[in-house]
Amino acid sequence: MGLTKSEIFTEEQNDIAKIAKVLGHPARIAIIQHILKIKSCICGDLVNEIGLAQPTISQHLKELKNIGIIKGNIEGTSVCYCINQENWPIIQEKLLSIFSQENKNNNCC
């Protein structure tokens, strides 16, 4: 497989692409929406809420944590996850930087 040539793109473009890639799975969107809806940390109810196996949920949580969307704290024998309050506005800003750009090309397609 060839290189992605990410070095020819800006740091901002690479960051946005990484975030978009992680958000590209509906289970991850469902996890984020659930955490935002309950407005607190979640420890073990995602398997019942999302309907996927525990190892699958764990893999999705790992991806969300690696990109900084969520963070986790160990509480006893479980890990509790919540939105990373430090990174959340940064991620929002990066995504809005694309979607807030005006499209003035009305004569296309």
Give the tokens for residue 43.
């420890």
Which residue in this structure is represented by tokens 């469902």?
A: 30
Mean pLDDT, rounded, for 81-94: 96
State which amino acid sits at residue 105. Answer: N
pLDDT digits (tens, 9 = 90+) for 49-69: 899 998 999 899 999 999 999
The rounded distance, in Å, linking the Cα atoms of 66 and 53 is: 20
Whether the predicted pLDDT of 25 surpasses 90: yes
Mean per-residue pLDDT of the chain? 88
